[in-house]
Structure 1
Amino acid sequence: MTNYANPMTELEAVNSMLIAIGQLPVNAITPQLQDQNVALDELRKVVRELCLHGFHFNTDDNYLLIPDAEGLIAVPTGAMTVDPMDKRLDFIQKKHPTNAGFYIWNRDDHTFQFIVSFKARIKWSLTFEALPEAARAYAVAAASRKFQAHVIGDPTADRFNQEAMQRAWLTLQREESGTADHNIFTANADLRARLSRRGVRR
């Protein structure tokens, strides 16, 4: 039976960052220890930046948003951005004046009220352990560089971390390009049909 390696955990990521500044790894994050919490905070910031950038792994196209009984469309939990697929629609996320949370605001009509649904592209905010491995590797490399600069500020270590971050970014971009190519040829039925007629193998 094949044994597979488990994906990197958030604790393993923090330990990698601690080792990078010469500290011993830990079995758990201790709230009272500043360096551990700074490392975790930097890691989570980078994860949010990655998700806001937007990749196939955290982006849904044609996500249907439907008004509730009051005609309101609440921004889905975990959504960082909501962008209508129809570019003619000028809808944004906005804090509702009376209801808790954010709702879709129609900038053209200046209203939260909707009578029809619409489809949107949504970028989701994911946790570190919900990321694919290539994204985790980049997040650790980028967070390690920021953490090292914040704690010890060693120029030699910074150059090393920068190179590691650049390699991880290239790997992530290759993974993203491969996923994009797959989506182009498998998600578009019309394109699949035309390729099939030309004798192109799918």
Structure 2
Amino acid sequence: MLTRLQAVNQMLLPAGESVILVLEEGAGDYANCSAILDAETAKVLAKGWHFNTDRGIKLVPDVDGKILVPANTLRLDYCDPKLDIAQRDGYLYDLINHTDVFTEPVVVDRVVLLTFEGCPYHVQREIVGKAAQFYQRSFVGSDTLDKYTTEERAEATADSRDSEVDEDDYNILNNPDLAYLRRHSFRRGI
């Protein structure tokens, strides 16, 4: 697991900058790298990973019938295909009935924003790779360094995708359209 200081230093090194030994809020390079790190963390986590997706969460209307979207929510996926719901002003909004008042709870899959430190190592590597490339392009602008950060980012992204597949146990045979392949009723002699 990487600390914030380690991540910032991994962003600075490919850009040819000196490392930071102590965290200082608001200090030049640290402030720039920290802001980029937070932005890239949100971007990467918004895709929805196995570790930051809560499935089957029931959101209950308050006394006014409104359903507040939790503050750390990046994205919601509504489980009921009959509903057509969007987020508006921090609340759920029913697009079919044109109202933000609900009488029943709504079941959703929720993608949650976590801190950088709260992410698994393989995702931290992808975040740092993207953040280092953004920092280098924004503050240094070297084509040579850009090639290096692009290679590092590609390797980190591939590793994180590989780890995600292992964690979430994806299997093409779990697809309902291919379920017939799981049956072992082959006719012999034909």
TM category, shorter: 0.7 to 0.9
Cα distance per residue 1:100-139 (max 9 Å; x no partner): xx11111111111111112101111111011110000011
SS in 2 for 1:105: strand
What is aligned with 1:139?
A: 127
**Pairwise mapping of residues 14-163 of structure 1 onto structure 2 (< 5 A)?**
14-95=8-89, 102-163=90-151
User: Which residue identity does 1:164 align to in structure 2?
Assistant: E
The alignment's C-alpha RMSD in Å is 2.2
User: Contact conserved, 2:14 with 2:148, CA < 8 A, in 1?
Assistant: no
**Pairwise mapping of residues 163-178 of structure 1 onto structure 2 (< 5 A)?**
163-178=151-166
Residue 32 of structure 1 and its aligned partner are, at CA, apart by 4.5
Residue 48 of structure 1 and its aligned partner are, at CA, apart by 0.6
User: Contact conserved, 2:40 with 2:131, CA < 8 A, in 1?
Assistant: yes
Distance 1:94 1:29 in 2: 37
Residue 146 of structure 1 and its aligned partner are, at CA, apart by 0.9
Cα distance per residue 1:168-196 (max 9 Å; x no partner): 011011111112217999xxxxx9xxx9x
Cα distance per residue 1:133-179 (max 9 Å; x no partner): 00000111111011111121111111011011000011011111112
SS in 2 for 1:35: helix
Q: Which moved more, 1:79-88 or 1:162-171?
A: 79-88
Moved over 3 A (4+): 182-185
Distance 2:26 2:109 in 1: 40
User: Contact conserved, 1:61 with 1:85, CA < 8 A, in 2?
Assistant: no
User: Which residue identity does 1:118 align to in structure 2?
Assistant: V
Distance 1:88 1:34 in 2: 51
The count of aligned residue pairs is: 178
What is aligned with 2:176?
A: none
User: Which residue identity does 1:14 align to in structure 2?
Assistant: V
SS in 2 for 1:30: coil
User: Which residue identity does 1:26 align to in structure 2?
Assistant: I
Residue 36 of structure 1 and its aligned partner are, at CA, apart by 1.8
Distance 1:33 1:79 in 2: 29
SS in 1 for 2:169: helix
